[in-house]
Amino acid sequence: MRLCGPGRRRPPGHTVGGRSPRLRRLWRLVAAVHLAIVTVVPAGWAAADGAAAATTRTVAAAAVAAVTTPPMGWASWNTFAAQINYNVIKAQTDAMVSSGMKDAGYQYVNIDEGWWQGTRDASGNITVDTAEWPGGMKAIADYIHSKGLKAGIYTDAGRNGCGYYYPTGRPAAPNSGSEGHYDQDFLQFSRWGFDFVKVDWCGGSAEGLNPRTAYQAISDAIDRATAQTGRPMVLSVCNWGVQSPWDWAPSMSTMWRTSGDIIYWGQSASMDRVLANFDSAQHPAAQSPGHYNDPDMLVVGMNGFSAAQNRTHMGLWAISGAPLLAGNNLATMSAETRAILTNREVLAVDQDPLGRQGVKVAEDLSGRQVYSKVLSGTGRRAVLLLNRTTSSAAITARWSDLGLAGPATVRNLWTGTDAGTFDGGYTVTVPAREAVLLTVTGSGATPSASPSASPSASPSASPSPTSGTTSAIKGVGSGRCLDVTGVSQTNGAQVQLWDCNGQANQQWTPTASGELRVYGTKCLDVNGGATADGASVIIWDCNGQNNQKWRLNSDGTITAVGANKCLDAYNNGTANGTKVIIWTCNGQVNQRWTRV
């Protein structure tokens, strides 16, 4: 990673207009594989209308199959900072295999800050010290590949990388960023054989670059490199949450940092920082299969953390569906640390194919929190009970908060034991500043993980003002339905677009008083009674206020009565997880809806 922000200056956020080029990723991957034949559409992809659409979706699915769950691997920064070379990376590669981490699903070996000191040849190509990297960077990438793993590399969006501005264990290295060489550098990375590239923001911040513009240019450069080499690269945006990357990075990258570093050079692991990074990554509407909020690398197994803290940290990342990039020394880790990093049941929560991020569903008393993550399968939830207080506390997971009904079975993932079957909920005492990770299986709605077929270009119907008729509400532009994130019934849960699946969190009932009700007692609500463009749309206990009144119009728009603005899919988004907001009515397709 490098520093990604140890007290660095951060420019004010910029507001810019922008497109949402999700088809670019399909083009990149189609070009990469150069498939000349049509293969069978994989399970989990809905059939598209028409042979041409089916062909395109089939090729894309084959290419993206390797990045449909959060990336898992190891990165060099947390333990070694910039003091890395061929032998350091080789030893960690070997340890990933011998420790069983590869078998558990870890696959990326990521070379972070310090591999390059900013030198280039007369043609502008990156050069490295061959005393440290015998055979150059291609040789280490080849070695990583020889072990059945994937190779990652690092650069900066600016002219100078983090090693120029901050201590790294090496002398300051000027010109160690890629600005002015985007096409050249990313093509070189791809030709060397790298599968993953992390792009930091130290130079970008110092130079006042616009994050969205810069990372779009980088994503485009990767497109062009992949078209030449046939090697797709995971793009990891590392701009520390500047300009809210969760709002724009999903269209151009696999993962995006949401905060500063979890650990800085020369420091020990800190639970305060773990919790702060976890909190900063809570953007569930942005997350979907292949696109992930990144709270930073793991500090599991590093100095300063107990086994209980390691389990709590791992559980927080798993419930978030976050990328899992270990940062400890794999060659010297204890058996206890290895067991935590390779717990198959915990990893399965993180890697669940639905790609959902867990959300807070209850906090009966301050600091005693319940998080729920919808898992694939019928009525399955991962549940994290987090005690942020300084004393042990009993915390209850209620089935109603999880969107479940009837008796449900509970399993503790760290002890690997079944707790039993319970009616209504389950209570456990959680030690101070720790968490308990469970799975709960009962009766309840489970959303689909599959992309829907191509949306229709025009509505077949418009919203009906008839009260009392329950139905889904589908976006005309997206072909996806109004959906309460994570099947949550908690006040404040974000409303988003998601594949229409007929479940309870997509069933809306208009009332004679102008409400749109879900779950019977919750109403579609403009958050805080706001009236400005961009105000989020959530659910809340029905209360009769104007911010819960909606007018269903004959042209397919839905007007928020209190704000006199239209229900809107943010930034013309069409993907799963697109936030639903209000915006000045403009007649565009992302403001038109049909009841189905």
DSSP 3-state of 211: helix
> What is each CA distance from 563 to 558, 560, 567, 583, in whole angstroms?
12, 6, 10, 9
What φ, ψ does residue 421 adopt, rounded to 5°?
Answer: -115, 135
Nearest 10 degrees: Cα torsion 236, 241, 247, 249: -20
Place of tokens 């291609």: 138
User: How many other C-beta atoms are found inside a 10 Å radius of the C-beta of residue 541?
Assistant: 10
Q: What is the DSSP letter of 415?
A: T
The answer to whether residues 376 and 446 touch, using CB atoms and an 8 Å cutoff, is yes
Exactly one of 112, 185, 195, 261 is catalytic; name it: 261
> What is each CA distance from 468 to 124, 301, 545, 552, 559, in whole angstroms?
67, 56, 19, 13, 18
The CA distance from 498 to 285, in Å, is 10
The answer to whether residues 30 and 63 touch, using CB atoms and an 8 Å cutoff, is yes
The CA distance from 504 to 520, in Å, is 10
The CA distance from 182 to 8, in Å, is 24
Exactly one of 112, 195, 200, 525 is catalytic; name it: 200
What φ, ψ does residue 183 adopt, rounded to 5°?
Answer: -60, -45
Which two structure tokens, joined as six digits, stand for 552? 């269903």
- Exposed (0-12), middle (13-18) or buried (19+): which is 99, by Cβ within 10 Å? buried
Instruction: Give me the half-sphere count of Cα atoms (radius 13 Å) on the Cβ side of residue 486.
Output: 32
The answer to whether residues 404 and 379 touch, using CB atoms and an 8 Å cutoff, is yes
Active site residue 220: no
Q: Classify strands 550-552 and 537-541 as parallel, antiparallel or unpaired.
A: unpaired
Active site residue 129: no
Which two structure tokens, joined as six digits, stand for 3? 């520093």
Which two structure tokens, joined as six digits, stand for 190? 């791809």
Sheet containing strand 565-569, edge to edge, reads: 550-552, 558-560, 565-569, 580-583
Length of the chain equals 596
What φ, ψ does residue 365 adopt, rounded to 5°?
Answer: -130, 145
The b-or-e profile of 387-408 (16+ CB within 10 A means b, else e) is bbeeeebebebbbebbbbeeeb
Concatenating the DSSP letter of every residue in 436-505 gives EEEEEEEEE-----SPPPPPPSS-S------TT--B-EEETTT--EEEEGGG--STTPBEEEE-----GG
The answer to whether residues 562 and 514 touch, using CB atoms and an 8 Å cutoff, is no
DSSP 3-state of 257: strand
What are the residue numbers of the active site? 200, 261
